[in-house]
Structure 1
Amino acid sequence: MKDSWFTIQKINTNTYAISEYGHWEKVHSFLLMGKEKAILIDTGLGIDNIKRVTDQLTTLPIEVITTHVHTDHIGSHGEFEKIYVHQGDRDWFVNGIKGLSIEQIRKDIGRDITLPTPDTFDPTTYQPFQGEPTGLLSDGDVIDLGNRKLIIYHTPGHSPGHLSVFDETNGYLFTGDLLYDETPIYAFYPSTSPVELVNSWEKISVIPNVSKVYGSHNTLGLEPQILEEVKAAITYLRENELAKFGTGIHTFNGFSVQF
């Protein structure tokens, strides 16, 4: 399937990554299809309408799980009727992202773009999504797609209400901005928490039967061995008391973090 803005990559017969490689953030959203409904994990930057793609991939009703309320993950939320978020990020969802000016958001959304953007996109008037969620998700919630079970993990640190999603049926772990490669994971601005991020790493590192780790940026799909590297990073950061603001960038085997 070809698209002018999105890159659609098939993970398996009922799972797709919908990626935005034309933007410097290289964001991935994920469509998980079951027997009765589909889940869309995040909706991208909002530079173009992701619903155009999902409508071509499935006729199932789609519900949106928000890994966290940052601009690059909620861009097309307004196109969907059912959208879910964790309580920790609900205020940002309804009232706007705190600590980030609209001027900075517009600067970031409009820079370093390498593909043609649609005529509807104007970075000077770009507005991040705001609205009431359909409902709230909590740690341990289970979403049944009919033949596919998703388990919700509350994994704060990058944001207060950050969520990771484990597709228990296939072993896919979707980590949002908690874990990815190539560029540093951010936990250095006031709304983040280095200690909570390390605690969340510990939480996902012991999930059994992970077959693949899918972060929301950069390389699509990391081998589960990265979770062993995460365990080593946790030990190093804790023993050296580095999980705090101002300690800089810490590089490990396959990923890095900035506090």
Structure 2
Amino acid sequence: MRAWRLLAASFIGSLLLGCAEQLVDSKDIWGDLRPGQNYAPASRMIDGWYAVEAIDARTFAINEPKSEQYNTSYLIVGSTRAIMFDAGCGERPAGSKSMREVARRLTDKPITLILSHHHYDHTGDAASFEDGVTLVDRPELRARIDNGRYTIGALESGGAVPPPLKVAGFVKDGDTIDLGDRRLSAYNLPGHTNESVVLVDRVRNLAFTGDHVYQHLGGIVAMTPQSDLPIYKANVDRLLALTDANTRYLGAHGDPHFDRAWVSLIDSELGKMVAGTATYRYASHYLVPGKMPLRVLQNGDLYIYTTPWVDPSLFWSKWSLLAIAAVLSLALYLLARLFRLLRGRSRSRPEA
């Protein structure tokens, strides 16, 4: 029995060592990040928490550079009303202004809240918008509305769950949102999540991409329960088809600005992932200790994050060979024990 335990321990230990050997510290991938460093330098601070950048006279990026993921929300103003695209990360200090109050400092027009998706770091102050939230029109979202309110689930949120949100209305894939003298096209582009929304201003040639694509820390996240790589790839293709070479893309994290070349690079690398030809690194955690390990595709400054739990290559190393040897030794040991047991029984059987 002692030998069996030693062999089993060798097997488990070898697998763990194989994983540990390939995991690298996150600093080796992303560098030494400091809260407050990722936002546009042209921004002005509000409450020591929000960094507000005027993209133009009626388009504002509202960054939270001291938040864990450097979130950026957008206020898009027309002549008759405005769109608030995302509601902040929910980490603001007690006593500081809500995202709605910050937006009110920038416009006196009625504000409609649209969420780029339902992760916790985009819904922080959603409940403060008294007119409610406009949801992307998907049957699974409509089915969960109760008495005019929508509750974001724990898996859907990935973190803190806001209180039930009043539903102001719905926006369908391809709808035009009329702001008076300004119009936005809304598109439901699943991949990061099923409900992911991108807004496009064709006159100003701006695309507000949420977490569908962005350049913060060089990448996109394809590790959520709803993430689907083939669908993601198809919808990055679609985003490229909906925009052009002169489009300015604005993402939901960090300094928001990026261009078509960046989106095309993401599209190309997602293609490698879907085809099974990508090469990966393995990070011990995402951004801060305590988060799950990640499988990371890296191409220069681009990173695409997925979870490593079902990735066989994470376990393949010299330690894996030792684990295989341990399994074979364990099998031989058990066969030897079984043979000795059967031989002992045959010898103890009385002769006729």
* Coarse TM-score class (shorter-chain normalised): 0.7 to 0.9
1:134 equivalent among 155, 168, 186: 168
> Is residue 2:46 matched to residue 1:3?
yes
Q: Which amino acid aligns with 1:79?
A: S
> Would you say 1:53 and 2:102 are equivalent positions?
yes
2:289 paired residue number: none
Match of 2:155, SS state, is: coil
Instruction: Indicate yes or no: 2:120 matched with 1:71.
Output: yes
Q: What is the match of residue 201 of structure 1?
A: 236
Tell me if structure 2 keeps the 8 A contact 1:9–1:18. yes
How has the CA–CA distance of structure 1 residues 72 and 144 changed in structure 2, closer, same or farther, with 3 Å as cutoff?
Answer: same
Give how far 1:253 is off.
5.2
Distance 2:83 2:240 in 1: 24
Quick check: 1:94 aligned with 2:145? no
Matched, 1:19 2:73: no
Q: Find the counterpart in structure 1 of residue 159 from structure 2.
A: 105
Residue of structure 2 aligned with 1:159, choices 183, 193, 202? 193
> Match of 2:264, SS?
helix
The structure 1 residue matched to 2:259, chosen from 212, 217, 223, is 223
Q: Give % identity.
A: 23
- The code of the aligned residue for 2:159 comes to I
What stretches of structure 1 of length at least 5 have no aligned partner? 107-126
**1:251 aligned to which of 298, 314, 323:** 298
Shift in Å at residue 40 of structure 1? 0.8
1:128 Cα deviation (Å)?
2.1
* More relative contact order, 1 or 2 (CA 8 Å, 6+ apart): 2
Relative to 1, partners in 2 of residues 1:105 and 1:190: Cα closer, same or farther, differing over 3 Å? closer
In the aligned structure 2, how far is the partner of 1:220 from the partner of 1:154?
20
CA deviation after TM superposition for structure 1 residue 247, in Å: 9.6
Q: Secondary structure at the match of 2:237?
A: helix
Aligned to 1:124: none
Query: Do the aligned residues in 2 keep the contact of 1:70 with 1:97 (CA within 8 Å)?
Result: no
Whole-Å separation in 1 of the counterparts to 2:182 and 2:120: 29
- The letter of the residue matching 2:128 is E
Q: How many residues align?
A: 234
Question: Is the partner of 2:117 in helix, strand or coil?
Answer: coil
* Aligned residue number for residue 133 of structure 2: 83
Q: SS where residue 59 of structure 1 aligns?
A: coil
The CA distance in 1 between the partners of 2:183 and 2:127, in whole Å, is 26
Change (3 A) 1:186 1:138: same
Cα deviation digits, residues 38-60 of structure 1 (max 9, x gap): 11101111334112211110001
Larger mean CA deviation between 133-142 and 186-195 belongs to 186-195
CA shift, 1:159, in A, is: 1.1
Q: Residue 186 of structure 2 contacts residue 199 of structure 2 at CA under 8 Å; is this kept in 1?
A: yes
TM-score of the pair, normalised by structure 2: 0.61
What secondary structure does 2:203 align onto? Answer: coil
| TM-score (norm: length of structure 1) | 0.81
Distance 2:66 2:277 in 1: 38
TM-fit CA distance, 1:26: 0.4
Q: 1:69 to 1:230 in 2, by over 3 A?
A: same
Please identify which structure carries the higher helix content. 2
Deviation at 1:148, TM superposition (A): 1.4
Structure 1 residues 170 and 253: alpha-carbon distance in aligned structure 2, compared to 1, 3 A threshold = farther
Which amino acid in 2 is paired with 1:3?
I
**Counterpart AA for 1:151:** S
Answer yes or no: is the 8 Å Cα contact 1:42–1:74 preserved in 2: yes
In 2: Cα distance, 1:57 partner to 1:66 partner = 19
Structure 1 equivalent of residue 290 of structure 2? none
